[in-house]
Chain A
Amino acid sequence: MQSRRAFLKNIAMGGGLLSLNAFPFEALAAQDFTLTILHTNDTHSRLEPFPADDKKFAGQGGVAARAAAIAAIRKEKQHVLLLDAGDIFQGTPYFNEYKGEPEMKAMSMMGYDCATMGNHDFDLGIEGFLRQLPHANFPFVVANYDFKKTALQEKIKPYVTIKKGPLKIGIFGLGIQLYGLVPKENYKGIWYNDPVATAIDVVYELKHKEKCDMVICLSHLGFSYEGKRVSDKVLAAQTQDIDLIIGGHTHTFLDAPVTVRNRLGKPVIINQVGWAGLRLGQIDFIFNHKKEIKNTKSHTVILSK
């Protein structure tokens, strides 16, 4: 922490804040608000840890350890959002035997706030997902699937807003094109809309109608691809006002979040934590009240003592 503060201070000084030396830093620091985002993706029915003889992941993963890690963080942090980017289903015999019930129940016990749907969440069809939905005490969001002609209509929302302390946070979901990935009868009636065009509309609504302080996208598009195929990186670059993309599908192990400039040149943070519940991502966002400081370029870095 000390090094971070020192670093921030250096930035502040270097950024031309010397003139603000007399500013009441202490008072402002007190208004800092920390929001902790915890996230998983592509957990793939991995309820138990990988077995001891696994070549790569022996002893890793499992909902009992994940629940313990989350509980420990909740003790430490007051404002936590726990999110998942889809592909909850499929990958271990638990899914074959129980059809997704323990996955949904375990996530509910851990206190997930929101999730999006991955392609494998359609592995037992729309009906199969619908059957497990009552076991989830948290909402699913997908904005670019039109569910109107399906039994999931009204059950899956394009977005939700969640209040955390003084903040209003908008969370929307984006799903991958199901054609070619999922057997047709499993997603019959779902109309796929372009993720970028959808995101532009939904984010506008979250930002300007819902007046959200932060916009998070739960994406199952995949981190990045060769060529022009839509991905989290493409999405980030072609939109505005998305603060954070929690990604999935490509099972990408990022050691640290990646920052991409959006179409206004502002940073968008993208993170993805591999698959199978092997890792839990955590990002602590520091928010600061802006009322006192208007129209200056230097106000955002005041954190130091």
Chain B
Amino acid sequence: MKKASLFIALFIAALSSCAPKKYAITSYEAQLRTISDTIPADAGMNRFMATYKARLDSVMNEVIGTALVPLTKAQPESTMGNFAADAQLEAGKKIDNLVTLSVVNYGGIRIPFLPAGNITKGKIYEIMPFDNLLTVIEVPGTVLQTFCDHMANRKGWPISGFSYKIKNGKAIDVEVGGEAIRPNAIYKLVTSDYIANGGDECEFLAGLKKQSSSILLRDAIMTKVMNDSRQNKGIEPKLEKRVNYAE
């Protein structure tokens, strides 16, 4: 147990001029405890957790695939982010086969690291605990540029089907399928209902034409883990400079 005991400072409570109070803080002392398995567990709490855990474990410990490399969440681009964005794109094409772009909000990925080896259903839940549904939106080129600027300003989100560079907090050289962005083109982009409805300050997307679905982003990721593991013996996402900093 790490216990950082800290003595801080005194309150020089300035009660000098006002009416006397009954009690006042004269000093304080702060401590920080790391909660860990080195603390003998509370027996009552363990008993309480046992039934919840047993039922959950039977569902979540199922191995659904293999990671051939460790997956990491990072910015501007990461293996975990690329995998999630690719999984979403593959599922999005089932909603509308003209979907070419995919965006996952960085904050929606909830664990920083997935080790190589067996992947359980529970791990996918940890990566993507939110019950977000895939939504296809029709994005004009000008709005796509705004979207890229938004992501660049936030140091890069996971994407698939396009690329850009970050310069001074803006997106430059946005390319879709190897071609420069066309302002008047309409791009079909799959993302979560959360983002499509303007979440994470993406208000500029909220008014666009959209097609909702009942596919959970989490299920899309699970499906790709299962398919890739069946076909290629495992998942192996790579960094491809989808998003990087301009030199």
Contact = CB atoms under 8 A, between A and B. Distances in A.
Interface of A: 3-4, 7-8, 11, 32-33, 45, 47-49, 53-56, 59-69, 71, 90-98, 102, 105-106, 109-110, 123, 166-167, 180-184, 213-214, 243, 255-257, 259, 264-267, 269, 271, 273, 277-291, 294-297, 299-303
Interface in B1-30: 4, 6-17, 20-30
Contact of B35 (A4, A66, A97): A66
A301 B28 CA distance: 11
A70 B122 CA distance: 29
Contacts of B122: 93
A300 B48 contact: no
Contact of A166 (B23, B30, B37, B130): B23
B206 to A, nearest CB: 10
Given A55-B112, A271-B30, A277-B35, A266 B60 contact: no
A47 B36 contact: no
Contacts of A8: 10, 27
B125 A93 contact: yes
A284 B28 CA distance: 5
Interface residues of B, number: 65
19 contacts: A45-B129, A48-B53, A56-B113, A65-B35, A65-B39, A67-B42, A92-B126, A94-B56, A106-B48, A110-B45, A123-B131, A181-B200, A183-B193, A183-B197, A213-B21, A256-B6, A259-B9, A281-B31, A290-B21
A64 B22 contact: no
Contacts of A64: 41-42, 45-46, 49
Given A90-B130, A92-B126, A257 B34 contact: no
B94 interface: no
B135 to A, nearest CB: 12
A53 B37 CA distance: 14
B25 A47 contact: no
B177 interface: no
Given A47-B49, A93-B129, A300 B26 contact: yes
A181 B200 CA distance: 6
Nearest to A7: B7
Given A60-B36, A68-B42, A93 B56 contact: yes
Contacts of A284: 28-31
B32 A281 contact: yes
A54 B122 CA distance: 14
A281 B35 CA distance: 10
A59 B97 CA distance: 44
Contacts of A91: 110, 126, 129
A303 B7 CA distance: 14
Nearest to A71: B42
A93 B10 CA distance: 44
Contacts of A264: 14
